[in-house]
Amino acid sequence: MAEESTDQLPLESFVKSLFDPLFAGHTPGWVMVLVGTVVFGTYILINQLIAPWVERKIMARMQGRRGPVYVGKWGVLQIPADLLKLALKEDTRPAGADKVGFFLAIFLTSVTSILAFAPLPWGTEGMIPGNFSIGILYIFAVFSIFPPAMMVGGWASNSKYSLVGGFRSAGQLVAYEIPMFLSVIGIIAITGSFSLIGITEHQAVHGWNILRTQHWLMGLVLGFIFFVSSVAETERVPFDIPEAEAELVMGPRTEFSGWRYALLMMVEYLHLTINSMLFIYLFFGGYNPIPWGISQGSALYAFANNPWVQFITMSVKIYLFVAIAAWLRSALARLRIDQLLNLGWKYFLPVSLGALIVMLSVAPELRQQLV
C-alpha cells in the first residue's frame, strides 16, 4: 500500500479511511467527487440559510431594531422556519400563465446559480470541486442565461408587473455584464489564466490584485467597477429597480409563491455569494490570507498554504462581503431606471475600457512576454 501523502487533507484521508474497505483498499475518484460535492454543497446551502439572517441582523441594528429574535437562539432559525413555511404552502399558478415558461424561469435561474459554484475553489488540492481551465468564462456563460430566464418568467406570469419587471431585469443585467467582463479581462491577461485557481495562485506570489501598484492601481479602479456591477447584477438595493416594490410589487417574482418563491429568494442569495466569491478570487486574493506576495521560503508560506486556513479565509471573506451588501442595502436609496442605465452604459463602460487599456499598457508581465 502506498504511503499516505503528507499533503493529504484531513477530510480526504477521513473519506479514504471510510471507503477504502468497501473498494478493496482503493477508493475510486467518482466516490471522492460525490463526497466532495455533498460536503461542499451542504456547506454552501447551510450558508444560504445563515447569510440572510446575518444580513437581516445587520440591517436591523443599523436601523435601530433588533431583527429576528423569536425562532431559535438570537432568531438564527428564522430563515429555516420561513423556508419550511414557504415549502408547505399551496402551490398556485396564476390563471392564464404559460405553464412551461413559468416553470422554466425557476428551473433555469436556480440550476444555473447552483452550477456556477462548480469551478470555485475553497483552497488548494482537495478543496476544488472542479478544476475548469476556463473557470471564469464558465461562470459568465452560465450567468448569461439569467436575463432571458427572467424575461420568460415575467412574460409567462401573465401579469403586467411581472412583464415590466422582466424587461427591467434583462436590461439591467445586460447593461452591467459588459463592464463587469471588461474589468475581468485585464486580470486574465496579467495572470495568463482563465482558471480561478491560476488567478488565485498568481496573487499568492504577487499580492492581491486590488492593491498592486505595478499597474498604477488600475486594479483598484477595475475592482470598484466589478464590485458595483456585481451588486447591480444581484438586483439588490440600490439597484433593485426590477422589483421596485412601490411600483412593481415584486417585479418578475410577483406571481411566484410557495416553493417557487423560496427558490427565487435562494437564487438571490446564491448570486450574492457567487458574485462575492468572484470578487474575492479576482481582486482580493482568493483563499490567500496574506495581502502581499509571499515567497516559498518565508515563514508565512506554510501558514498561507494550510488548507484549513485557506478554507476559513474564504468563508470569512464571503461573510465580509455579505456584511458590506447589508450595509449598502440599509444605507442607500434606490436609483431611478435612467440613472442606473446611464451609470452602466455612459460611465462604467468607458471607464472600465480606459482602465483596462492603461492596465495592459503598463503591466510588466505583458512587457516581459513581448520582449
Q: Write out the residues near other proteins by the rule CB under 8 A.
A: 33, 98, 100-101, 104, 108, 119, 130-134, 137-138, 140-148, 151-152, 155-156, 163, 167, 170, 174
CB of 154 to other proteins, least distance (A): 9
- Residue 333, C-alpha cell as written in the block: 436609496
Using the minimum distance from each CB to other proteins, give the nearer residue, 120 or 237. 120
CB of 254 to other proteins, least distance (A): 17
Taking CA atoms, 80 is separated from 70, 85, 190, 217, in Å, by: 13, 9, 43, 43
d(CA 69, CA 62): 16
Using the minimum distance from each CB to other proteins, give the nearer residue, 54 or 170. 170
Q: Give 72's DSSP letter.
A: S
- Residue 77, C-alpha cell as written in the block: 432559525
Using the minimum distance from each CB to other proteins, give the nearer residue, 156 or 237. 156
Using the minimum distance from each CB to other proteins, give the nearer residue, 55 or 233. 233
Using the minimum distance from each CB to other proteins, give the nearer residue, 33 or 205. 33
**How many DSSP H helices and E strands does the chain contain?**
16, 0
User: Cα 349 to chain center, whole Å?
Assistant: 21
d(CA 255, CA 370): 56
Phi, psi of 271 (to 5 degrees): -65, -40
CB of 344 to other proteins, least distance (A): 15
CB of 159 to other proteins, least distance (A): 13
Residue 167: name the closest of 318, 319, 360, 337 by CA. 337
CB of 166 to other proteins, least distance (A): 8
